[in-house]
Each structure stands twice: as structure tokens, then as C-alpha cells.
Amino acid sequence: MGYKLLEDYGVIGNLETCPLVGADGSIDWCCFPHVESSSVFAALLDDEAGGRFAIRPSAYAESAQEYVARTNVLRTNFRTAAGAVTLTDFMPVVTGVYAAHTPSAIYRKVTCTEGEVEMAVAFDPRFDYARAQTTVERTGQGVVARGNGEQVYLWSPVSLRASEGTRERAEGSFSLSTDETAWFVLQYNDREPQESGDCEALLGETVDFWQDWTHQCLEESDCRFAGPHHDRAVRSGLVLRLLMNPQTHAIAAAPTTSLPEVLGGVRNWDYRYAWIRDAAYTIQALYELGHEREARNGFDWCLTMCHRDDPGEIGHPLYGLHTDAEMDEETLDHLSGYRDSAPVRVGNKAGDQRQLDVYGELITAIYTATNYGEAVREGEWEVLEAVIDYVCEIWDETDRGIWEVRDESTHVVHSKVLCWAALDRGIMMAEEGGFDAPLAEWRAIREEIRETVLERGFDESIGSFTQSFDGDTVDAAALRVGSVGFLPFDDERVQGTIDAVIERLATEEGLVRRYEGDDGLPGEEGAFVLCTCWLVECLALSGRVEEAHEIFENLLDHASPLGLFAEEIDPETGEQRGNFPQAFSHIGLVNSALYLNRAENGEPVEPTGAVPADRYRRS
């Protein structure tokens, strides 16, 4: 069927897994039962061998996708010369104590809305990333596929032919006339009878679940996102909710692996893990969207990460969504990769990297939650104190930094600033909560970090903070110097950094690459959506509102038709690159919309979670 642009996919899910559905009606990526499980359909990563489940018109059709308003229920609308058909895809969501025992199932409703249309079905599962031998046979009211000790059962209202040979699959065709409907249900490791009335009821319940969830942000008269960017922010919130596990509350960075940053390149990574910094950013975004329960859950996950390890081990930048997932990275050489971009990787060896900024992200996230009314209890404080004490010991060591470079470690300026933030927020939590802490020592080390960063992390000749100590390359992560309260936005060094990022890292549209210089990998990457959002935030927080508005609108022009973002944008083609949809990108969009909306309405604007304006440190 050929590879599609990432923009031609929608995502659905049940909070445990997130299939991707193409605008041609093909499910090209699906892992059962969890996001981090091995795939059953992986045509996204190998159009020939990966496997798919497609329902589409037999004849040529134009198509467009849309979500049912304020939900993750996806519609694909087809139009042929003979008529029109709507394919509705969703996964029922069950939360609470029953969630862990609810089978994973994809429901596909095909409705003819005009004329008479012949439809084709292609069911081609490939278990374990297409490594396992897969059998497909007819049984009962459908077909069952088995492999890798797993099975999926497809309930079908039409007879499907199960082919035999080296690659077993099932296919068939059927016709629908105006107002006729057919239901297809794919169940993982389960075979419950399905009736159309039950399917319709589940669809209504699923729509209600998502619309009830978005109600908090939509109906409040003082909605923080009222205005032109409201629907974008709500869609981003829905993406973040899909990626947040209902049992552990860990949030996946993305539901996919190995979608390339550069076509034909090797910058292909597995993002189906929970990063500390993603959780930290998500807490703020969810609070601002009005989803306090989910934000609290993220807060609890951060505290859990503190309790589960010694301080020296908390520094792992990423964790499994359920348990201590295997981080060993391997390549799947039998898969060609998205648009022939090999290697395909599963696992992520960045899990063993030292990234010192994660301590600052963790402590800042917890402090941010206290600003929204959450409380740190005495037992929790003892663990946080141990983390901050550990930062005092290791802040002056080298690390790989936020971008997880696979080159030599260095003194990353952003990491030092976040170590400063860990101490700064720790001091404020101790003061405000009346906790015992070695405050004199913490203040002294906080000041030492600050003086060292100002001395070795700022280059007078370019008027900007740099990527590493004593360096001369610019890194977009330096934009966070203002965002975390290290310096106020009206400081000339912050403004100089903003200008340097625009001059040296941004395209004419204002789309921002991550950094200058060699990172030890071949090829160049595209513009990073989160970095572009950071620039929008910094401009808005600096009072440079017109610049912020223009760049934000340029960024939105690159959203998919469904409002989804991958990790990066190719500046030359405008196409999306990297894993999709990306939590980082949607977190950035929420915060950018918030700051820009406030600035354009003339409201006071300061970074959420940073220190109050009257407590900024000046030199």
C-alpha cells in the first residue's frame, strides 16, 4: 500500500496502547497489550513485512480524517465515484480497579452515508515485530491469528478468506448501501461475542468518557485557553492522556519506535518509555488544562521514582511504563524501517546515561505541584532531601544532557542550570513547608553553581549562554535559563540568548533546531517542535508578543490535519519527522498557547513553576 506521511495518521487508544490508523483505513502500527509490548501490526516500519489491518474502499477513494469532537474516537471519511463511507475507529476505555482486567480491543465501524460502496478487508497480523511465525485460520464468526504465544481474534460480519503458505493472512470484500453499517472487532487474547447493539453502546460510552474528561477545560468561564488556540490545547491534552498509563501513571514519550529524525539516517530511537523530564513538563500542562487528578497522578509517579531508588539511581532518565523494563537496545535487521530508514531499534540504551538535568526536572515538577495545592509529606520530604543532597555532590560532574548525545559526556550548561533549580526549589519547599534541611549548605552550593554557570557558561562574544562550559556553540536548551528563574527575562544575557537562538538555530519561519555542532552521529536533524515552543514562550514572557505570535502560527501550519505533532519538522519539506505523536511536542504546544494567550490579553505573564518575579536572582 506504500508508506504514508506521518501527518496522514490518527492515533486512538485505551490508555494502555495506541494504534496508528492511516487516512487509507489501514492500522499500520499496533502493540498489544501495552504501548511497550511487541507489535502485531508494523507496516509503519516495513511496508512489505510489518503487517497491517486495513478496511477501505475497493476502488479509488479520496479520504480525510477527523476526531469526534473532544475525543480520541477517529473517523476516516472516504468518497468514491459510487458513494461515501465513514470508518469509525476507537478502543473502549475502562479505568479504576477493572482496567487491568479489561481486554484490549479495537472497534471498527463502517457506515455507508451515500450511494453503494464496495469495501475491501486485509487482515495481516505479524506477531513480535514480524519475527514470530504467524498462523491465521477461520473460526466461528471470524478469524483467529496466533504467534509468539499470543492470539488476536477478528470478529467479522462478512466471510474472510484465510490464505495459507509462507505468510498467512485473511482478506475479503463486502458492499454497503446508504445507512448500512458493518462492525469489525479485533480482540487481543480474548474472544467475547460481539453484537452490533453492544458495539454501538460502547462507542457512545467511549465518546462520553473523553468528552467528560475534556469538560473541565471547556466549560469553565475562566478557561485559561479561551481564544483561538483553545481547540489545539484540548487536542494536545487528549494526546497526553492517551500516553499516560492508568495503573502506574507513567507517561510514554511517544507510542512508536524508530520513526526517523532524518529519512535514510540512523537517528531512530525507541520512545515507548517514561522520561522523568516528560513527566515534569506534563504535570504543569495537565494542571493548566484543568486536569488536576491526572496531574496529581503524575506528581505521585515522580515521588514513586524518588522512593524506588537510591539518589544515585534516580538519575536514570527513563523508566518502563509498568515495571523495570528491559532497556537493552537491539536492532531489528529484518525490518527495513520507515521509508527505508534503518535501523529499527527496540530498547533504549540512553536509560543508562547520566543526565544531571533530571534531578532539577524532578524537584521542579514536585515544587510546581505544590504551587497548585499539592502537599509534600514528611516521609516524602526525607527522600527529596536525599536527592538534593546528592545533587550537591555531583553537580560539577560531566553528563550527556537533555539531548542524550551518544558522544563523550561534557559539562552541559543546561544540566548545571537544572541542578541549580533542584537546589532552588528544594530551599523554597523547605522554607515554605517548615522541613528540616541543611539550608546554609544548599544556599552556598546554589550560589556556587550560579557563579560557575555565569562565568563558564556564557560567551560574551556571542552574547549567549552556550551548550557546554567554555564553549562557543548555541543550544536551544539555554532558553530555559529564564524559564526556570535562573535569571529574569529582562536580563540582557537572557535576551542575548534568545537572539542567538533565532540567529543561529532558527529557520526563516522561526522553527528551531536543538543545537549547533557535531554530536557524534551522521546526518543533520530537523527543527525540534519543543524547542520552537520554548522560543515562543520566551518571547511571550519577554514581552516580544508579535514575534511569539508569528512563530507560533508558523508552527501550527505544520500540524497534521488532526492537530497532531511528531518530534520534529523537516525545514526543507515541511514534513513531520521522528516518533509520532510526541508528548514533548504537545506539552510545548500547551504551554506556548498558555503564555501567548495571557500575553496577548495583557495579563501578567511569568513562567509557571518558577520563582515569583520579586525573587529572581540578579548579578
Residue with cell 475562566: 222
Residue 616 is placed in which grid cell?
529572581
Q: Whole-angstrom distance between the N-terminal and C-terminal Cα of the chain?
A: 61
463-510 residue pLDDT tens: 999 999 999 999 999 999 999 999 999 999 999 999 999 999 999 999
Residue 148's beta-bridge partner residues? none
CA distance 64 to 498: 39
Write down the mean pLDDT value for the chain: 90
* % of the chain at pLDDT higher than 70: 92
The one-character DSSP state at 293 is: H
Q: Which CATH class is domain 227-615?
A: mainly alpha
Question: What pLDDT score was predicted for residue 96?
Answer: 52
Work out the pLDDT band at 612, boundaries 50, 70, 90. very low
Angle between helices 413-433 and 378-394 (to 10 degrees): 150
pLDDT tens, position by position, 224-235: 777 888 899 999
Percent of the chain with pLDDT over 90: 71
Residue 157 to residue 477: CA distance in whole angstroms: 53
Could you give the CA distance from residue 477 to residue 402 in angstroms, rounded to a whole number? 8
Instruction: Say how far apart CA 337 and CA 263 lie, in whole Å.
Output: 10
d(CA 528, CA 514): 6
Q: Which long-range contacts (CB under 8 A, 24 or more apart) does 96-99 make?
A: 99/15, 99/16, 99/246, 99/247
The residue among 257, 259, 254 whose CA lies nearest residue 243 is 254
Contact 390, 441 (CB under 8 A): no
Task: Compute φ and ψ for 109, nearest 5 degrees.
Answer: -105, 125
Q: Count Cβ atoms within 10 A of the Cβ of residue 149 and give its class: 0-12 exposed, 13-18 middle, 19 or more buried.
A: exposed
Show the DSSP H helices in 434-569 as ranges: 439-456, 480-483, 492-505, 529-541, 545-556
Summarize pLDDT for 572-609 with one digit per residue, the tens.
999 999 999 999 999 999 999 989 988 888 877 666 54
Q: Which three cell numbers stand for residue 161?
A: 478468506
Beta-bridge partners for 11? 20
Taking phi first (over 0 means left), then psi (-120 to 50 degrees means alpha), and beta for anything else, what does residue 401 get? left
pLDDT at 94 over 90: no
What lies within 8 Å, CB to CB, of 454 at 6+ separation is 493, 619
Q: Which residues contact 469 (CB under 8 A, 6 or more apart)?
A: 410, 411, 413, 416, 452, 456, 457
Cβ-based neighbour number of residue 139 at 10 Å: 11
Judged against a pLDDT cut of 90, whether residue 307 lies above it is answered with no
Residue 327: pLDDT over 60: yes
Q: What are the φ/ψ torsions at residue 95 (nearest 5 degrees)?
A: -115, 175
Asked whether residue 275 carries a pLDDT value surpassing 70, the answer given is yes
Domain residue spans in the chain?
6-197, 227-615
The predicted structure's pLDDT at residue 483: 92
What letters, b where the CB count within 10 A reaches 16 and e where it falls short, cover 342-365?
A: bbbbbbbebbebbbbbbbbbbbbb
**Set of cell numbers at residue 435:** 522541613
Annotate 249-292 with three-state secondary structure: CCEECCCCECCCCCCCCCCCCECCCEEHHHHHHHHHHHHHCCCH
pTM of the model: 0.94
Is residue 156 helix, strand or coil?
Answer: coil
Q: What is the pLDDT of residues 332-390, one digit of tens each?
A: 999 999 999 999 999 998 777 889 999 998 899 889 888 888 888 888 899 899 999 99
The model's pLDDT over 35-86, given as tens digits with 9 standing for 90+, comes to 999 999 999 999 999 999 999 999 999 999 999 999 999 999 999 999 999 9
Which cell goes with 507?
529557520
SS3 label, residue 106: strand
CATH number of 6-197: 2.70.98.40, 1.10.287.110, 3.40.50.2000, 3.40.50.980?
A: 2.70.98.40
- 8 Å CB contact between 545 and 553: no
Query: Could you report the per-residue pLDDT of 20-43, keeping only the tens digit for each?
Result: 999 999 999 999 999 999 999 999
In terms of average pLDDT, the best of 241-250, 298-307, 336-345 is 336-345
- Tell me: pLDDT of 314 over 50: yes
How confident is the model at residue 525, as a pLDDT?
Answer: 85
Query: By C-alpha distance, which of 4, 166, 65, 6 is closest to 577?
Result: 6
- How far apart CA 243 and CA 340 sit, in angstroms, is 27
Window from 174-183, 205-214, 409-418, 512-521 with minimum mean pLDDT: 512-521
pLDDT of residue 241: 95
Residue 613 binned pLDDT confidence (cut-offs 50, 70, 90): very low
Query: Three-state DSSP class for 452?
Result: helix
For the stretch 384-439, pLDDT in tens is 999 999 999 999 999 999 998 877 889 999 999 999 999 999 999 999 999 999 99
Which residues, other chains included, contact 425 with Cβ-Cβ below 8 Å and sequence gap of 6+?
360, 363, 364, 366, 367
Q: Which long-range contacts (CB under 8 A, 24 or more apart) does 394-397 make?
A: 394/356, 395/356, 395/419, 395/420, 395/445, 395/449, 396/452, 397/354, 397/356
User: According to the model, what pLDDT value does residue 301 have?
Assistant: 87
